[in-house]
Amino acid sequence: MKLLIAVRQSDPAWDWPAGASERLRQHFPRLDIQVLDNWDNLETALRDAEIYFGWRMTEAAFAGARCLRWIHSPAAGVQNLLVPALITSGIPITNARAVHGPVVAEHALAMMLALARGLHRTRDFQAQKKWAVREMWQTPESLREIRGSTVLLLGLGEIGSALARHLRALGAVVIGIRRHPSQGTATADEVFAPEDILSLLPRAHWVVLAMPVSGSTPVLGAREFAAMRPDAIVINVSRGALLDESAIIQALAHGQIAAAGLDVFAAEPLPSDSPLWSMKQVLISPHLGSATHGVWIRELDIFEENLRRWLSGEPLLYAVNPRLGY
């Protein structure tokens, strides 16, 4: 049984770790494991693979993958896998949302705390050896509290639910938006449907994107920024496609919103000529939300459990609906 692993990225956090293949061979001796070092060879390598562990697919590679029976994405997002023929193929897809959700939630909370207290600016002043009490006090978006604030959380999946628990523990009011509000308010104070967003934005001190991409139109654009409070802060730890970058640049420049914490972007790396780099009210991290030195341990634990289930004919964990994209 051939398992093809293709996770090569420019980001070293996503390199297939040393010893991982040997661990899988010890636990599953039937596996013939091939680790792909070059995406150019995907089409050839996938032809006789029964299981594919990766986050990228092409139409040509899928068309030639006659033995393929199961795909596992080591990321939560599966958009780069969903070529049209795969969506309708019936081949099961699983993802790693349980691996990354708690970590990304912590990253979102870290960005919120940093922006609430202006820590990104104090670091700049530290580099200047400047005791900037007056400057910090006079910065409108700094020196606020999460306690007592209202957070509009777009998405209540693994990331959103974990973040909601953290925020409520800090004393924030959490309003959740989810596709099916009837699924309940287990982690949020209130839950609404996506079509209610414009009526909810004026209430929110914080707007956090923690949802999968399910369409081609950004969730936050010029209309949404116009509806926000001028002291609102936007956090995006989900996908760059969910936010209209030109619209948020305009909203920040004209004071429609106070600040933003951005971990994901439409183009990555973020181009050097993007105005976001030089905006003092913007905190940028280079898609580090899911990066942690413990991530591969959890990745392998979940994948091995699903391998065991696959071999014994049991239902797989963390199945993805390819038509919805999550």
Catalytic amino acids?
A: 239, 268, 287
* Rounded Cα distance, 282 and 101, in Å: 23
